[in-house]
Structure 1
Amino acid sequence: MNQIPMTPMGVGKLLDKSFNVYRQHFGAYFLLALIWFGPFLLLQQLLLIDLSNVPLLMQDTEGLEFWEAMGEKFIGQEEMVTQNIARLLLYLFLVAPLTMAVAYPQLLAGATLLTKSAWEQQTVDLKAALKGALGRFWPLVGSTLVYGLLAIAVVFGFTLVFLLIGFLFTIVTGSSIETFLDAGSDFNPVLFFIVFLFGYLLFLLGLVLVPGYFLLRWSFYLPLVLFEKGGVGIDQSWRLTKGNFWRIFAIFIVLSFLYSTFSGGIQVVILSILGTSIISQIILVVLSCLLMPWMAIVYALVYFDLRVRKDGTDLQEMMNKQLDQSTDRFSAEEPGAAHE
């Protein structure tokens, strides 16, 4: 089948394209998520939830008023977490790292291959996508570990600098928590709350913009490792995203808002009906496997859009360079031609 030309897309067109791709090839993407994330999510539920205290079908709230029953169901969501330290440690040091280092890159790589076929109007083959992603298994794992270590370092460094600035601020102003809470001082708890809230919001904003800037610029390492088969992909991602940060940032802000709104809304409905039951947890696992492919499709489309923009820019620069060289040669030859 003939390929359609790839052209740059705006934010709206990109999101619309992601919905269309997912709708047309829903089965392949959903099975991909079930294969890679389904087992890890179920294992997470088994390790983190005390199944002996959770009903199978529906939480019993008989005899309670409506709002009391709703409160009981949502409070139960916190109470069902297991107190078994061994299981918590097993999840933190085995299941969670394997999910991030194995399931995460394989899902994104497989989704990227499926999306490439869909965008080029070729046959979308789940088996071929799984095989292609597994063929780059260790490079994807290695580059993901490098990205994770960089993420930890950047976030830790920013947090350290922020705390240092806060410490210097308390020294310069001569204030402390005890000063704010001291009833006999010029400060009061209300002022302390305002200052604390302002500092917390400033920290969150800085966390999104400063570490977020680097993490977003590095985040397209995975398809580069998948397709170009060379290096870790971090520095290539940095060059690929040059001049496109704010557009990518806007896309993922919209994506996060839509995902959290849709996912949170469905979770509220499920918990309000079934409460903290085994069935509700299984439904939430299936919901995650339904939503993750869409986010992976957006990620893949953003990468292909960046490639189109980068290739177009490189082509334009090459043409301009050739034009400048031709002009220089013409200027150098002109005096000789006039002399003859």
Structure 2
Amino acid sequence: MSKSSNTTQSLGTLSIGNVVSAGLRIYRDHFKLYYTQALISYFWLFVPVYGWAKFSAIQGLIARLAFHEVIERPETIHEARQQVQPRMWNFLVAGFLVFLIVFASVIIGAIIFGLFALILGLIFASAFQDNQIILGIVGFIFGIIAFFIFMFGYIWIFSRLSIVELPIAIESQSDASFAINRSWKLTKGSVLRLQLIFFVAFLVTLPLSLIINFASLLIPSDSPIYLIFNLVISILVGALVIPFWQTIKAVVYYDLRSRKEGLGLEIKDSLSDD
């Protein structure tokens, strides 16, 4: 039986705290394996295109391994790689499409806000042209409101596309468009909950980020080893953090499918039959 056989306590839906704690336990129990794979993936980034696809596939590999720990059907690294490797380019294409969706959304949002700000600016400028203080206050308030609306939109899109690699790594249909649609469907109505989960997970990684930032301040920015130090630290820390996030997303994916599709009950019945 897997070390993480008690990760989900009982197969079913999980609370926000249980999602993060389950992810932490899986990551802790398989730290050496996940960290090694993540470290290897970072070196692939230095190889254009093919290496980027390998990087994406290894992230999917880690997520698949973690998911199978959640459902108490662990796979070996060899078994998981056999399933993930043929889908390598799908991971890269999906990542590129997600980037285009987010980028296009940001551009469209910026244009809409820009036009809206221009119209309001002209209206308020004519209404308060003799009172610059009121005009400044109105402009400041509008800027704050616009910022929060913009951030909400960005976070909403990010949440809806946060588990795109999981369907590719786990489900039988694995093309990029299917994965994006699948992520969009599973996360519908769960944006706030996902953000709370990701926020708690972010708090877990925050001390590490603060330590690294403090360490980088110890080396003068004009030092010849500054760039090398930052590169090495970025790789080592990235290899620490990414498996944690992939594990969290694997638990989130399981939880969303349990809530919307009864995955936990299906697994319970299957385990009972076994």
Instruction: Tell me the TM-score range normalised by the shorter chain.
Output: 0.7 to 0.9
From 86, 108, 111, the equivalent of 2:62 is 111
Given residue 94 of structure 2, which amino acid in structure 1 is its aligned partner? S
From 161, 165, 169, the equivalent of 2:120 is 169
- The offset of 1:39, in angstroms, is 4.5
Structure 1 position 310 matched with structure 2 position 256: no
User: What TM-score, normalized by structure 1, do the two folds share?
Assistant: 0.64
Given residue 264 of structure 1, which amino acid in structure 2 is its aligned partner? S
Match of 1:15 in 2: 20
Match of 2:235 in 1: 285
**Separation in 1 of the partners of 2:15 and 2:167?**
22
**Separation in 2 of the partners of 1:115 and 1:314?**
15
Match of 1:204 in 2: 147
- The offset of 1:218, in angstroms, is 3.1
Structure 1 position 228 matched with structure 2 position 233: no
CA offsets 1:68-109 (integer angstroms, 9 cap, x no match)? xxxxxxxxxxxxxxxxxxxxxxxxxx96x878x635632431
Q: Which runs of 5+ in 1 are unaligned?
A: 44-93, 316-340
- The offset of 1:12, in angstroms, is 0.5
Structure 1 position 36 matched with structure 2 position 41: yes
**Separation in 1 of the partners of 2:166 and 2:28?**
22
- The offset of 1:200, in angstroms, is 4.2
- The offset of 1:162, in angstroms, is 0.9
From 194, 199, 213, the equivalent of 2:156 is 213
Q: Which runs of 5+ in 2 are unaligned?
A: 266-274
From 173, 187, 194, the equivalent of 1:248 is 194
**Alignment length (residue pairs):** 252
Task: Report the more deviating stretch, 224-233 or 242-251.
Answer: 224-233
Given residue 137 of structure 1, which amino acid in structure 2 is its aligned partner? M
CA gap of 1:314–1:156, structure 2 versus 1, over 3 A, is: farther
**Separation in 2 of the partners of 1:110 and 1:313?**
21
Instruction: Tell me, yes or no, if the aligned pair for 1:114 and 1:129 is still in contact at 8 Å.
Output: yes
- The offset of 1:208, in angstroms, is 2.6
**Separation in 2 of the partners of 1:286 and 1:110?**
19
Instruction: Tell me, yes or no, if the aligned pair for 2:258 and 2:264 is still in contact at 8 Å.
Output: no
Instruction: Tell me, yes or no, if the aligned pair for 1:219 and 1:234 is still in contact at 8 Å.
Output: no
| Paired residues for 1:25-64 under 5 Å | 25-40=30-45, 43=46
CA gap of 1:314–1:256, structure 2 versus 1, over 3 A, is: closer
Given residue 235 of structure 1, which amino acid in structure 2 is its aligned partner? N
- The offset of 1:175, in angstroms, is 5.8
Given residue 108 of structure 1, which amino acid in structure 2 is its aligned partner? Q
